Amino acid sequence: MLSTTADHALRAVLLLGRAYGTPPVSADEIAEATGTPRNYMSKTLNALAKAGVLTSSRGPTGGFALALAPDELTVARIIDLFDDPDPSGRCLLGTGPCNLAQPCAAHHRWTALTDARRAPLTNTTLADLLTGRAA
């Protein structure tokens, strides 16, 4: 369901969610805690910071922290940075482009299925995952 990068990003953000309100956590600590190669995690963390999900600070006491409270950050916002949330627009039936203006026979049903699959990601916050709250 998730790409490897989205999975690592979600794990890192959850770790930072547990540490919310504390000093920044270094990229090395996050990489070690999540079992992710350091360089790979650094690139992922920088992408999250560039997108406004994390803050970053340099220096010996620097690191990364959540830019938003865990209850303001949805799982979809994190995953969408690394996985394309939009369908390709390619027709499932192979008859050419498929969209609302020119739907194929499967279009409306398939759109409903993809929307239903995505809903839990858009309706679940980091806080929900950290506290075990049901959707």
**Model confidence at 55: pLDDT above 80:** yes
Comparison of pLDDT for 116 and 127, the residue scoring more: 127
Whole-structure pTM value: 0.84
**pLDDT grade, residue 86 (50/70/90)?**
low
Question: Helices 38-50 and 4-18 sit at what angle, rounded to 10 degrees?
Answer: 70
Which residues on adjacent β-strands are paired with residue 63? 57
User: So what's the pLDDT on residue 116?
Assistant: 87
Residue type, 43: K
Q: How many alpha carbons lie under 13 Å from residue 70 in its C-beta half-sphere?
A: 19
Tell me which fold the domain 4-131 belongs to: Arc Repressor Mutant, subunit A (1.10.10)
1-43 pLDDT, tens digit per residue, is 789 999 999 999 999 999 999 999 999 999 999 999 999 999 9
Whole-angstrom distance, CA of residue 74 vs CA of residue 15: 15
The domain ranges of the chain are 4-131
User: So what's the pLDDT on residue 107?
Assistant: 82
